[in-house]
Structure 1
Amino acid sequence: MTAESLHLRAARLVDGTGRPPVEDACVRVDRQGVITYAGPAGRAPAEPADRTVDLGDRTMLPGFIDAHVHLGSAHGTPPSTQGLADPVLRTFDTAARLARTLDAGVTTARDLGGLPAGYRVAVETGRVRGPRLHTAVRILSHTGGHADFRQPDGTDLSGGIGELVDTVDEVRLAVRRLLRDGADLIKVCASGGMGSPYDDPDDEGLTVEEMAAVVDEVGRHGGKPVAAHAQGRAGILNAIRGGVTSIEHGYGLDDEGCDLAGERGIFVVPTLSTVYLGIDRDRMPDYHYQKKVRWSGLTKENIARAIERGVPIAMGTDAAVGPHGRNLMELTYLVDLGMSPANAIVAGTRSAAELLGVADRVGTLEPGKLADLVVCDGDPLRDIGVLGEPGNVVWVLQNGVETKNLLERCA
């Protein structure tokens, strides 16, 4: 499907910049899928459009960006069982998760382990419906670390999600392999984790020197972001000192971590869905459940402090730990910990675009940007929860092309 010129009118526009909403708003899109106007309807250009859509008492927003997903894994499926799945069925199941994520209002996503680069190309070439993708392909971890799911006999049941490195030289070689395999960014394990069988969040992962080598190596090959799985305090501080681009999870983020992240402009991606939705005793190994319970309250306290202190935050859900296709519930959890609805929307649009390095193209509804646009029932500035229910996301544009339309059902 090709883009058509559009004249869209709705009760309000929340453009993702953080500016106040525009009432009785209009967005115009040209045939190249680029926004030419976004603002009050009364000031919109009078040029004809191929299609005019009156969206009624609804809200137009930018397409959302989920900065932390695992689309190659089913919800609630431990990484240690990924290798048992039929690869053909995994491919079809992954394609379904891509479509479900797009329908939830996520037009761009950053996959942080387990998704081959071919899926990015499949979306780009229209083979499957899904968010525009950035993928880390695999995760760098030391032996016995967060991404090591090998059995005592050496069998890897994770489907190859981890790339094990134990020296600086091994780190450099692994980064080169990942870049060869099409990685858009590199993910490192700076700490242990909740779901890993051999370590804990307070355990340290890659050393400062090893993470600095990752940063140096990507810099020698044109530059790529480096995302750090970092849950405990020590791993967070090591990752920041190693020069990473983002702290993923950040459960043990203290005042020193907030200070350093703020000083260096490092984003925190809190993945609060793992705390609010990701605790299920019946589906979890006991070690995983016990760690989740132990860290739940501390996580909320620390992320609330980071929000209060203005640490740069981008939205990410860790979808797979939480459900795919309900990504925008993450905004509700940010608001629950003290963020305003307007700032939560910014975290899922402009800030996430800045983290991914695509803010010149997407993340806000402004002239010159691609028309990634979401229309929802109601007013999310009054009730942020409306975005968390995919049925309330009634229309989605990606590059100016309609990918979801429930308007007739809602008429």
Structure 2
Amino acid sequence: MHQARLPAVPASTDSYRLLGATLIDGTGAAAVTDSEVVVVNGRISYAGPRRRGWSAPEGMAAVELPGKTILPGFIDTHVHLAASVETNPAQMLARFPSEHTFEAASIMRRTLKAGVTTARDLAGLDAGYRNAVAAGTILGPRLHLAISALSPTGGHSDFHLPNGAKTGLGMFQDFNPIIDTDDDVRLAVRLLVRSGADVIKVCTTGGVSSPSDSPHDLGVPERHVQMIVEETARRQGQPVAAHAQGAQGIKEAIRGGVASVEHGYEIDREGIELMLERGTFLVPTLSSALRVPRPADVPGYLYEKKVRWSEIAREHVAKALAAGVRVAMGTDAAICPHGVNLKELGHLVELGMSPMDAIVAGTLNAAELMRLQEHVGSVESGKLADLVITASDPLANIGALGDPANIAVVVQGGNVVKDLHGWMPWAPAPSLLEV
């Protein structure tokens, strides 16, 4: 059995008890009122009902949190931290690479402060960003990386304009993401693995935002998806994620053996049955799908596609949720705004999920998709202390989590990286730059 790389963050030596809060542990179990969570050296040593007779070791800090809720740190399995919907292509073209790097670091910090302690970047970041988080150079989520997305010439991740000029993420990318032949497929996977990829992303359809194709256009074929899955099985078993929006490309991705369908906007009954049969995850990215920009803010072709495909996604994804397809939370942040990732939970509930199931999609299910469920995704003994604390009741108002102002405390590996109200008195006060 292949083991996933556990993304590192700076080690914590703190030990403390969190008492009296309601605990939603991420497993789907009923919430525990008047709970106790004990953190020792970055891991959870106890999580459950408050123990009245237990004597804490001398010097262990404790804080009472009545009326608050403790949840696992959330996991966004589909982000693009190196890009931003707020930055237009002309601005990107005018930037120095260093400006691009600093903006990505700022986005990573905002994402962490929004309650996302682990993220899967599905094209844009290289392994240096993951290393910088591990070293404590920058604040950000634990990172798994695709590095680049693979598609045929003219496909969704071909960033060339008709005249051959690069645009978008292609400006900062040395890796060639184009795979047209069998040899291209093998070489691309091997280069990505050498570069530190934790997941391989393929585009089996075109996209809503692509200027030269559509979600109905087919991209990487089923046979090449199978080759990619076979090639990763010879290495660390990296899961394969498919950008797949139209119905036929979704089914080719599933039959090819992907671990997750990203977007899945037009999934049909046959696709749903295939996903249920094979246990394939759906990452519906509703934050992007349901967002329709103002006509003046985007090219005409894009506005028309967004309106149409937003309605398609609303209809079809709701059917997949009702059928019980396994869902992992993902936002496609960059195509939608960064730093409000947990709005995705509200969208899942809007399309039919219960608040508890939406929380599981953003915690334990997402951890399972990333093969990290032994370490993160739930508040259980032995797991890393990645936590979110809020004064809101997410089971009564799941939408409150979408506002970072309601994410009062974020703990990552036992380290308090956000504390808006001074609830954690033993933690160092954050600098003005990190609020």
TM range (shorter): over 0.9
- Measured in 1, the distance between the counterparts of 2:248 and 2:298 equals 26
- How many Å apart are 1:181 and its aligned residue? 1.3
How far apart are the structure 2 equivalents of 1:10 and 1:285?
Answer: 52
Identity %: 51
Matched, 1:178 2:188: no
- Taking the aligned partners of 1:43 and 1:202, their CA distance within structure 2 comes to 60
Shift of 1:276: 2.7
Indicate the SS of the match to 1:38.
strand
Q: Does 1:264 find its partner at 2:278? A: yes
Q: Is the 8 A contact 2:386 2:412 kept in 1?
A: yes
Correspondence for 1:296: 310
SS at match of 2:297: coil
Partner of 2:419: 405
SS at structure 2 position matched to 1:46: coil
Shift in CA distance, 84/163, structure 1 to aligned 2, threshold 3 Å: farther
Q: Which residue of 1 is the match for residue 100 of structure 2?
A: 90
Which residue of the partner structure matches residue 233 of structure 1?
A: 247
Give the structure 1 partner of residue 18 of structure 2: 8
1:250-261 pair list within 5 angstroms: 250-261=264-275
Choose from 287, 300, 304 the match for 1:273. 287
- Verify the 8 A CA contact 2:346 2:399 in the aligned structure 1: yes
Shift of 1:407: 2.3
1:136 to 139, 146, 153: 146
Tell whether 2:46 aligns with 1:37.
yes
Greater Cα shift, 152-161 or 355-364: 152-161
The separation in 2 between residues aligned to 1:173 and 1:82, in whole angstroms, is 29
**SS of residue in 2 equivalent to 1:52:** strand
Partner of 1:104: 114
Of the candidates 376, 385, 396, which is equivalent to residue 390 of structure 2? Answer: 376
**Which residue number in structure 2 is paired with residue 200 of structure 1?**
214
Residue in 1 that maps onto 2:432 = none
Cα distance in 2 between the residues matched to 1:287 and 1:246: 28
CA distance in 2: counterparts of 1:215 and 1:77, whole angstroms: 35
Using the TM superposition, give the Cα deviation of residue 159 of structure 1 relative to its aligned residue in structure 2, in angstroms: 3.6
1:146 to 156, 163, 178: 156
Question: Which of 59, 62, 67 does residue 52 from structure 1 map onto?
Answer: 62
Contact 1:377/1:386, CA 8 A, preserved across alignment:
no
Please list the CA deviations of residues 179-216 of structure 1 after superposition, one character each: whole Å capped at 9, or x if unmatched. Answer: 11111111000000011111000111111111111111
Q: 1:76 to 1:280 in 2, by over 3 A?
A: farther
Deviation (angstroms), 1:298: 1.5
Structure 1 unaligned regions, length at least 5: none
1:283 paired residue number: 297
Corresponding position: 1:120 with 2:130:
yes
Does the Cα contact within 8 Å between 1:10 and 1:59 map onto a contact in 2? no
Q: Which amino acid aligns with 1:181?
A: S
1:318 to 2:340 alignment: no
- Per-residue displacement from partner, 1:124-178 (whole Å, max 9, x unpaired)? 1111000000010011011111111202232212343561111121111111111
- Distance across 1 between alignment mates of 2:123 and 2:15: 37
TM-score of the two chains, using structure 2 as the length reference:
0.91
Using the TM superposition, give the Cα deviation of residue 278 of structure 1 relative to its aligned residue in structure 2, in angstroms. Answer: 4.7
- Distance change in 2, residues 1:276/1:109 (3 Å): same
Contact 1:80 1:158 in 2 (8 A): no
> 2:252 matched to 1:242?
no
Give the TM-score normalised by structure 1. 0.96
Q: Is the 8 A contact 1:84 1:157 kept in 2?
A: no
- Runs of 4+ in structure 1 deviating by more than 3 angstroms, as ranges, are 42-45, 76-84
Partners of 2:55 and 2:302 lie apart in 1 by 59
1:61 aligns with 2:45: no
Distance 1:239 1:285, change over 3 A: same
Contact 2:292-2:307 within 8 A present in 1 as well: no
Q: Tell me the distance in 1 between the aligned counterparts of 2:270 and 2:380.
A: 36
Q: Identify the match of residue 158 of structure 1 among 144, 165, 168.
A: 168
* Of 342-351 and 37-46, the range deviating more from structure 2: 37-46
Q: 1:350 maps to which residue?
A: 364
Q: Is the aligned partner of 1:213 residue 2:232? A: no
Give the drift of 1:285.
1.6
Q: 2:169 & 2:347 partners in 1: Cα distance? A: 31
Q: Note the aligned Cα RMSD (angstroms).
A: 1.8
Q: Distance in 2 between matches of 1:125 and 1:229?
A: 31
Give the superposition deviation at 1:46. 2.2
What is the rounded CA distance, in whole Å, between the counterparts of 1:242 and 1:83 in structure 2?
36
Deviation at 1:391, TM superposition (A): 0.5
5+ residue gaps, structure 2, are: 1-9, 426-435
Per the TM alignment, residue 56 of structure 1 is displaced from its structure 2 partner at its CA by: 2.5
Summarize the Cα distance change of 1:144–1:331 in structure 2 as closer, same or farther, 3 Å threshold. Answer: same
Distance 2:262 2:292 in 1: 16
Q: What corresponds to 1:71 in structure 2?
A: 81
